[in-house]
Structure 1
Amino acid sequence: MARENLNDLLAFVAIARERSFTRAAAQLGLSQSALSQTIRGLEARLGLRLLTRTTRSVAPTEAGERLMRSIGPRFAEIEAGLLAVTELREKPAGTVRINADEHAVDAVLWPALRKVLPDYPDIRVELVTDFGLTDIVAGRFDAGVRLGEVVAKDMVAVPIGPDMRMAAVGAPAYFARRPLPRTPQDLTGHTCINLRLPTHGGLYAWEFEEAGREIRVRVEGQVVFNTVSMILRAALDGFGIAYLPQDQVQPYLDRGDLTWVLADWSPPFPGYHLYYPGRRQHSPAFEVVVEALRFRS
């Protein structure tokens, strides 16, 4: 059926319910003459009379009653569905899927979300952790999390955390056997704990900076992990130097369980950003999550 015929059926249902062209026209925002013409056109196409009109009343014919019983409930379901969607503006609900790495989930996402989610029991959040450069559109994610300097230019980027620093750290027991590195190049003579990235299966190159010049060092060691929590544990156990976010190791630095080396070579850089396509129509639940995560210095 042509799309315009649906409007004709909607007009018929309004008249049959109201038993009045006047009230139906007011409900639909049409003139009575336009509404009469619409019904005449519908009856002509069907070859059936749907409404009996008198000077005082309007009533469905037998064919009109049968049509009303058939399509009336469907239109009612559509109206109920639209009302339910509209109510989401007042009561955000639904699932929000976010892709992020392990540290972002632990340090930024969950601390913020655990405060707001109790106030919105109908919002469900799915946090999927990986270190790959996941395509959030292809993966059907609502948003992803990356460091500010690597967010694609065609994405909306919302800061969700402060600036960060990376720290090369090792246990005092490890440095009791080895001299402290003085430059990033000295790391090639040390046992280091590597992170395996899922993208192309490569090892993460450690990044340092001197006078605005970036230095990347590929290190070697006895153990490789694909989670930062295990890298931290191995460093605490004295298996070598690890390269981890400062906030993650700060408690251990404060207690003397770890020693930070090459700190002068690790300047701050833009922290985590939530990113998502700007062209999408976002749900009220998504907007609640974004505002909960937005970083306010």
Structure 2
Amino acid sequence: MPGRAGDSTRAAARLGISQSALSQVIRGLEERLGLRLFARTTRSVSPTPAGERLLALIGPSMGQIESGLEQITALRDKPAGTIRLTADEYAVHSVLQPAIARFLPEYPDIRIELTIDYGLSDIVSGRFDAGVRRGGLVAKDMIAVKISGPHPMAVVGAPAYFARRPPPKHPQDLIEHSCINLRLPTHGEHFAWLFSKAGKEQRVKVEGPLVTNSIASVRDAALAGLGLAYLPQAYFRDALASGDLIEVLGSVRKTFEPYHLYYLSRRHPSPAFSLLLDALRLKGQ
């Protein structure tokens, strides 16, 4: 039977339990049962008759415990599991997908589930591991890690649109233009067209023939010449380089703060989550 005690000690060690902590567990069990389970001397510990009987009862389970510990330990070397994230559409497109495309091939046993949501989702009730939002939108009780640089916004239109209408020279000129609006689910409002010059911010309410809840649809409508669009600059970089879209009002461009990945404080994040967090973390911050 001493061998059984040795097995349980090794199993406890693999769980990260110190010898003193193990002794406390045994003493607590003895107090609860009102029986002495182990006889202790300065040089050895041996089971009492009651301890022998207890070890005989739990002995058949020790192999399963050992096997389970081996499988759990293997996760440190071969991370696996599903990570659920919520983010707005642009964060998924510009920040998450490029990083995930590099990350997943290295860890084939990790699965990532992305939910696109412009609302300020409760990651706890939604059972998400983390969310991604601009820094100013993250709740104060969350851990927030910066995962991107700032995001300049821009007003763009297709050459076909500007063939019919002169480009706006000032933000207020947009009132006379056909503009494509993005509706936010949080309050049902249109996404504000904001401009900044000399530290002063200007908000312009625009109207137009199309309202959508997807920035991909906003961009496509602008490419089709339906009107002007207000988009993150990086989202139409290729179209700008090819001449399919033209930027206007660049001198009053508004820049939004960086994206942050936010999550609840946890004492022991999973190996998979820790690896993804490191892959997303903005280097040099």
TM (norm. structure 2) is 0.80
RMSD between aligned residues: 3.5
Q: Distance in 2 between matches of 1:187 and 1:108?
A: 30
1:253 aligns with 2:235: no
Note the alpha carbon deviations across 1:56-107, whole angstroms, 9 max, x for none: xx9998x966x65643233543444344333322222222111111111111
Question: % of aligned pairs identical?
Answer: 51
Three-state SS of the structure 1 residue aligned to 2:58 is helix
Aligned to 1:174: 161
Aligned to 1:125: 112
Aligned to 2:15: none
Q: Distance in 1 between matches of 2:237 and 2:118?
A: 22
Aligned to 2:127: 140
Q: Indicate if the aligned counterparts of 2:85 and 2:113 stay in contact, CA closer than 8 A.
A: yes
Q: Indicate if the aligned counterparts of 2:138 and 2:144 stay in contact, CA closer than 8 A.
A: yes
Aligned to 2:77: 90
**Structure having the higher Rg:** 1
Q: Distance in 1 between matches of 2:59 and 2:247?
A: 72
Q: Indicate if the aligned counterparts of 2:151 and 2:258 stay in contact, CA closer than 8 A.
A: yes
Counterpart amino acid of 2:275?
Answer: V
Moved more, 202-211 or 230-239: 202-211
Q: Gaps (5+ residues) in structure 2?
A: 7-17, 38-45
- Cα 1:211–1:43 change in 2 (3 A) is closer
Task: Give the drift of 1:159.
Answer: 1.9
Q: Distance in 2 between matches of 1:45 and 1:277?
A: 42
Aligned to 1:264: 251
Q: Distance in 1 between matches of 2:78 and 2:121?
A: 31
Q: Distance in 1 between matches of 2:99 and 2:157?
A: 30
Q: 1:236 aligns with which of 223, 233, 239?
A: 223
Q: Indicate if the aligned counterparts of 1:159 and 1:295 stay in contact, CA closer than 8 A.
A: yes
Q: Distance in 2 between matches of 1:38 and 1:184?
A: 72
Task: Give the drift of 1:227.
Answer: 0.9
Q: Indicate if the aligned counterparts of 1:132 and 1:197 stay in contact, CA closer than 8 A.
A: yes
Q: Distance in 2 between matches of 1:87 and 1:187?
A: 59
Q: Gaps (5+ residues) in structure 1?
A: 1-13, 20-27, 50-57
Counterpart amino acid of 2:190?
Answer: L
Q: 1:107 aligns with which of 91, 94, 104?
A: 94
Q: Indicate if the aligned counterparts of 2:144 and 2:262 stay in contact, CA closer than 8 A.
A: yes
Q: Distance in 2 between matches of 1:162 and 1:268?
A: 10
Three-state SS of the structure 2 residue aligned to 1:285 is helix
How many residues are paired up?
Answer: 265
Task: Give the drift of 1:243.
Answer: 0.7
Aligned to 1:191: 178
Q: Distance in 1 between matches of 2:27 and 2:271?
A: 41
- Cα 1:245–1:41 change in 2 (3 A) is closer
1:207 aligns with 2:194: yes
Moved more, 177-186 or 145-154: 145-154
TM (norm. structure 1) is 0.77
Moved more, 279-288 or 255-264: 279-288
